[in-house]
Every structure is written in structure tokens, then in C-alpha cells.
Amino acid sequence: MGQEFLKIKDPEDAEDIISTLPILKKVEKVSLVEAYRRVLAEDVYATIDLPPFRRAAMDGYALKSKDTFNTSEDNPAQLKLLDVVTAGKIPQMKVEHGACIEVSTGAPIPEGADAVVMIEYAEKEDDYVSVLESVPLNANITAQGSDVKEGELLLEEGERITADKIGVLSAIAMQLVPVYTQPKVAVISTGNEIIKHQEKLDYAKIYDINSYTLSNAVKACGCIPIHSEIVKDDYNSLKNAILKFKDADIIITSGGTSAGTGDNLKVVLDELGDVLIHGIAVKPGKPTIVGLIKTNSVNHQIIFGLPGYPVSALMIFHIFVAPFLRKMACIGENEVERNIKQYKLSRRYIPSRGRKQYLLVKIKDGQAHPILKDSGAITSLAEADGYFIIPKNVEMIEQGTLVDVYSLDN
Amino acid sequence: MGQEFLKIKDPEDAEDIISTLPILKKVEKVSLVEAYRRVLAEDVYATIDLPPFRRAAMDGYALKSKDTFNTSEDNPAQLKLLDVVTAGKIPQMKVEHGACIEVSTGAPIPEGADAVVMIEYAEKEDDYVSVLESVPLNANITAQGSDVKEGELLLEEGERITADKIGVLSAIAMQLVPVYTQPKVAVISTGNEIIKHQEKLDYAKIYDINSYTLSNAVKACGCIPIHSEIVKDDYNSLKNAILKFKDADIIITSGGTSAGTGDNLKVVLDELGDVLIHGIAVKPGKPTIVGLIKTNSVNHQIIFGLPGYPVSALMIFHIFVAPFLRKMACIGENEVERNIKQYKLSRRYIPSRGRKQYLLVKIKDGQAHPILKDSGAITSLAEADGYFIIPKNVEMIEQGTLVDVYSLDN
């Protein structure tokens, strides 16, 4: 016995293969409330001028600027107060020479006025206002369309709709927002030893971990997880489970890929589709499978078979699967960058030879402390803040070396 | 007329006042699926050993290590293969001297065995296995409880439940997770000029922006927004709206705080509770109100009255409200830090005098470009990637100065 990895790949080649997998972008329309954190699928143009009318930028008095020519505190201009226009009200009167109309911030500028003096520079007494400074033409007036003209580009396809972008869409009252459809990802835990959380923990069994960690990691990539039942590690169970998820864009399995398990996923994929990668030369996570199932003449389902150990599964997910899911969900790579931070290594570390390695670390006292547990250890997940990459042929990393730590939280 | 800011505060004092506002932490239990991204409210201890039984760390053959003493490729040990135990199966036989049992990764170690030889170092032929190396005691065996012993601390109160922490909770099959209750935040847009997105845009009106931006910004702080109707800017409408949200922990209004609007929020708060801050000496956002309403003998509602301009409202939210909401939602300050990044300023900038200023910037070509628009401009929201802080008495910031840019996306 023993497993043959016929298509074992270097990690760089595996990344290349995964990055060229076919992606089908779908678009849907959602309400503005649902649009938060989604990715815009079309450019958005202004359907109205912003602001939609000429308005006051400050609380004050709308007037003719000429009437304030040469005025000062010692020589104020006396203007007759005709009316008051608050925000939301339509002005009923015109500003004539020698007169003014009180306006509040956001109120429309009455006809005839060409400037607003701020209340701080004016004094009201009965029906008259003394203007204490000379007011330039257009002062404190925001012209219609001065921010955006109808037809102008507001937001671009591919932008993530954050709270501030929601504000832009609100300004033009966009009620249905075109966004990229979130890919559906079926998450399957395989293994005869895996049981549901509701079950009694009999000897030889362990509780399901991977479907929970991976479902949530899938969410963090902007995809929708379909949390499946646990699947027995035999050919028929696995094949039936995969066929059940015909609607999923992607299927992620964990377990059932290491030697001694019969390598069922490979056998199933050989029958239903293509095995593209069978083994990646990394630590942890060597027994990783990537495959493709043709569901009809245009569509493919992509399958990632991850190792069964929770740490290995989550690491391989982060390194090889997450970038692909984010790409499929149309999330820009720029969003990931901020989750890399440099730390000094707390101690000397001697990597295992021959494979590129991803080492979990805990950040403490501003240093990256390697977590030296095997990938079966759950506590390494509890402690880990991230990981760094050790290239294939490094013999030793000195204490104090600056390493790029990738957050596990994305 | 003109508004008196009786309790105008320096921003540092405002931060102090806000940071000492009373916080009531509530705890609830949610399912593991709902626990993602929530904050753990209690320490979690292991309820079982992990792993729960002695298991194989590798695919191989369980044996007595003594039987492999002095073996090598030239001098292999011949062991009788008694049985095969895959993961999830209960061993039916004992390992005797001169015998072995095939085990797969994760399978229980049969009684009598004290080591596992990896399949790579063994050769199977019919009912016999040749072991090609000497196997030390306990090799490739993970002892019961070696990762975690029942009763050990697994996760600490206050930790955010990320995908990897979900894995830890799954390992012990925790079905109801104690988490801090997410504060409920009512978000109210006030203003007679504000209309709903479904309405026709008549002259003098603008579409509601703030309730959408602020609701989503509230979500990003781990709180639950209650999106309200638009409220007219008069005493009775505002008072009724506030009284309607008795269940909210926090109420955020925007608009109705600048001079010329009658300062209705202050008047309402003077009647229903206390005004703690009436004006903050910052740009933008001077007309900001913070108040407290006693809802019964133990509970308080906290009210933030933000300026009406969308940019000002969102900036004041980020700077003064968001840290408080995150604290109330029990989210650690360490999560915010990663959203600060240093950039060089693209051009010389001369700040306005006398007030601490928050300047929006766009990040382009690795530089921070100031956005020089007034706070009524929606496009500044569309362009902005973040802001940096300019202290009160700075006269000029040179081109190329390194500035700390705070992301608007948190």
C-alpha cells in the first residue's frame, strides 16, 4: 500500500494552476441595506446633480453681494429681512437690493441672492440685519451640481461597498445595487471517525471541526458556505455527497486525502472530472487535491480536497484556496495586504528540510513566537495569530529576524 | 440669533468624557454557527481530553518498539500483520510480540502497541510486514490529552471568535457559546430637507444619506443598527422619535445640531436627560452633542448628536463614537490598530487655524492625497480611503511628511 502522488506540485506551480482555474462572474441586484460589504458589479453614474439645487453652505443671510461692498464693523450695511428659509423649505420671496433672507445650512438660495453672509458676521434687530463685512460673490453658496454633475462617474465596478460608499449610493437614492453574486461553497468533512456535536463521544471518535472552521473562513472570503453533513470516508458516500451539491460553485472537502484512507476523493474525481493537483510539496498540508468537475457544457465545479488535520486544513485553505475564493467573489487583492505585518522572531528556528513551510506564530510582546506543535493540535489554533512562510532551502532562521506574519483572520 | 455652545470641549476632553460613559455588558448564548465574529463572554475550559484517545499521528503499523530494536533496511524486523484499524474504528485485537496492526492517521492505537512505524519505512507482503528502521518508544503516537487535558483553559473571555477559534470550540462540541450581547443602536436622520429613497426628489429636498452610512458603520463596530424613519427637525418629532427607541442602548442622530435649526436635540436632552458635550472644537464636526438619558434606576441611554453633513457625521462617528461602540461591544482595541498605516503626504498642506482637524485622504501611488472639498461633498466619501489628524496649532505640513492614515472602514 502507500499513496502515489502522481501530480505532486511545488507550491508555486500549485498557485499558478489554481490562479488559472475558470471563474464565472455572476451579477445580481440587492437592496441598499443588503449591499454593505458586497462588491459593485457595474460603474455607478450620478442620476442627479449633487447637490440637486443651489443651497446655503452656512447658516446666514442670503443677499446681493454688491450691497455689502465696502462694509465693515464700523460701517455695516443695513438690509431689510424679508423672510426666513430653513432647510427643506421652498423660498417664497426674491432678494431685492437692500434686502436679505435668512437661510439655514442646506436651505435653497432664494432667487436674486448671490452670496450668503455667515450669522457670525451679521446682527439682527427687528426686521433689519446689519452686515459687518464685505461678502464676495457666491460666498457660502454651494452651486447645483458643484459636487457631482448628473452623468458623472461616482463609483467604479469592483469597489467594495463600505459605509462611506453606501453614502454615495444613498445620495442618488439607488435602491437596487448591482453586485457580484457571492460564490456558493459546499463544505464537507469526511472521515469515519468524525461525529456531529450533538452525538455522544464514543471511543475512537472525534467531533467535527473542519466544517465549522472552513465554513467561517469561507464567509471571510465573501462567499456563502453551505455547511454539509459529515460524510463517511468511502467511495460511494463521497461521490453521492459531491453529486448532491450540484448548485455549489466550489466544493471543499477535508480529510480522506492522506494515505491509508484509500484516497477516495482522487478516485471519485478521476471518474467525475479531472484531478489537477494531487499533493503539494508544503508543510503542513502535503495531501491536498485540486480538481474540476464539468457540470454542463459551460460550467465547472472546482473541488479542493484539504487534509483532515484542522490546522493543516485551515492553513492550506488560507494559502491556496482563500485567494481563489476572494478572486471569485471579486474582492480586490488590496484588501488582503493590510493583514500582513512584520515582527521579529522570538527565537532561533530550524525548519524541516525539503519542503516550503508555513509556521504558525503567536504575537506576544511585539514578537512572533513559533508554535511548535504538530498539526493535530487544536491548541495551536487557539494560540495562533498568524503564520509566516519559510522557503524550501532555508537551514536556519536566526532569533530577531524580521518575518512577514500573515493574519489567519482573512 | 446664533447658537451658544455652552459645553464646548476640546477633542481630548470629549474623548475623556465619552470614555467614562457608563457601559452595561450583557451576555447571551448563541449557537456555534452564530458565534462567528462575536466576542467570548466567559473563559472556555476543555470538557474532554484532546485528543480524546491515544491515536496514530501517521499512517503506519502499530507495534511494540522493542521488536524493532536494531532493525535496518539490511536487517528488517518481520512482524505478523494481525488486523487493520482505520480512523473511527475500535481495535478488536491486541498487539503481541512479533506482531503488528495496520493503523491509519487518527485511528486508535490498539492495546499492546507502544509505537507506530510510518508506512514509508515498512513493506507489506501477504500477512507479514518488514520494518526497515528501529522505531523509538511512542513514535508517531499522540497520547490522550497530550494537546489539552480536560479542565484546561482553552479560550479567554474577551477573545473575538474567528474561524480558528471556532475550531477550538468545535473540538469540544460546544453547542451554545456565551458571547457579549451586541449593543442596539438606533440611527435617526433628522432634517426637514431629508426624504426617503422611494420619494420623488422635489426642489429643496435631498435624499437621506446618514442613516445608511451610520447604520453600516455601526455594524462594523459589532453593534446592531436599528434603522429609523427620517425625523422632522422640530422639538416634538425629535422627542417622540427618541422616546420610541427605549430599547436601544444608544441613539445616534444626525442633523439638527447646527445653529439656525433651533438646536432641538439640546432642548430635548435638557428635558429628558443631561447634555454632557455641546460642541467639540474640531474640524469638521464642531456641532456635536453627547448626552445621557436615564431610562430607569439602573439603565442609561447614551445619545450622540452628529452634524448633518454626511462627511462630518461619518468622521465624527469614526473618531468619537466608534471607539465607544467597540468598547461597548467588548471588541479589543488591538483589532483597530491594524487599520492605521503610514503614508507620505503628496503635497504641502496648510490647515485651518484654531481647531484640531481631520483631513480625508485618498491613497494613490503609495501617497496620501488630501481631499480638498467641503464636508457637504459626497464625492469626498467616494474618493476617501482614510484620514489623518492635524493637531490644533500646526501651521503647515510639508510635502513628503509621513502621516498616520486611519482607515474609514472600521
- Which fold is adopted by the domain A55-142? Molybdopterin biosynthesis moeA protein; domain 3 (2.170.190)
Q: How do the domains of chain B map onto residue ranges?
A: 11-26+181-336, 28-50+146-180, 55-142, 339-407
What's the CA gap between B97 and B113, in Å, rounded? Answer: 9
What would the grid cell of residue B297 be?
Answer: 434606576
- Which fold is adopted by the domain A339-407? Beta-clip (2.40.340)
Report the pLDDT value the prediction gives residue B56, as an integer from 0 to 100: 95
A residues 343-362 near B, CB within 8 Å? none
Q: Find the closest chain B residue to A382 by CA distance.
A: B165
Tell me, rounded to whole angstroms, the distance of Cα A232 from its chain centroid: 34
What would the grid cell of residue A137 be?
Answer: 460673490
- A 10 A CB-CB count for A342 gives 10
Domain range B11-26+181-336, CATH architecture: 3-Layer(aba) Sandwich (3.40)
3-state secondary structure chain B: CCCCCCCCECHHHHHHHHHCCCCCCCEEEEECCCCCCCEECCCEECCCCECCCCEECCCEEEECHHHHCCCCCCCCEEEEEEEEECCCCCCCCCCCCCEEEEECCCCECCCCCCEEEEHHHEEEECCEEEECCCCCCCCCEECCCCCECCCCEEECCCCECCHHHHHHHHHCCCCEEEEECCCEEEEEEECCCEECCCCCCCCCCEECCHHHHHHHHHHHCCCEEEECCCECCCHHHHHHHHHHCCCCCEEEEECCCCCCCCCHHHHHHHHHEEEEEECECEECCCCCEEEEEECCCCCEEEEEEECCCHHHHHHHHHHHHHHHHHHHCCCCCHHHHCCEEEEEECCCECCCCCCEEEEEEEEECCEEEECCCCCCCCHHHHHCCEEEEECCCCCCECCCCEEEEEECCC
For chain B, the straight-line distance linking the first and the last C-alpha, in angstroms and rounded, comes to 38
- Mean pLDDT of each 10-residue bin along chain B, 410 residues long: 63 95 93 95 97 94 96 95 95 97 95 96 95 96 95 94 93 97 96 94 96 94 91 91 93 76 83 92 88 83 94 92 94 73 94 88 94 84 88 92 84
Report the pLDDT value the prediction gives residue A2, as an integer from 0 to 100: 41
- A 10 A CB-CB count for B350 gives 10
What's the CA gap between B268 and B243, in Å, rounded? Answer: 10
Bridge partners (DSSP) of residue B160 are B39
**Nearest CA-CA distance, residue A297 and chain B, Å:** 36
A216 neighbourhood in chain B, CB within 8 Å: 36, 162-163, 166
* Residues of chain A where predicted confidence (pLDDT) is lower than 70: 1-6, 257-262, 334, 336-338, 409-410
Inspect the interface and report whether the beta carbons of A167 and B209 lie closer than 8 Å. yes
Inspect the interface and report whether the beta carbons of B203 and A172 lie closer than 8 Å. no
For chain A, the straight-line distance linking the first and the last C-alpha, in angstroms and rounded, comes to 38
> Superfamily for A28-50+146-180?
Molybdopterin biosynthesis moea protein, domain 2 (3.90.105.10)
Report the pLDDT value the prediction gives residue A258, as an integer from 0 to 100: 54
**Nearest CA-CA distance, residue A17 and chain B, Å:** 26
Query: What pairing do the DSSP bridges indicate for beta strands B77-85 and B55-56?
Result: unpaired
Among the partner residues A87, A105, A258, nearest to B59 by beta-carbon distance = A258
Rg (CA), chain A: 32
Picking from A212, A358, A360, A404 by the largest number of B CB atoms within 10 A of its own CB, the best residue to mutate is A212
Report the pLDDT value the prediction gives residue B80, as an integer from 0 to 100: 98
Report the pLDDT value the prediction gives residue A410, as an integer from 0 to 100: 52
Q: Find the closest chain A residue to B363 by CA distance.
A: A334
A373 touches chain B (CB under 8 A): yes
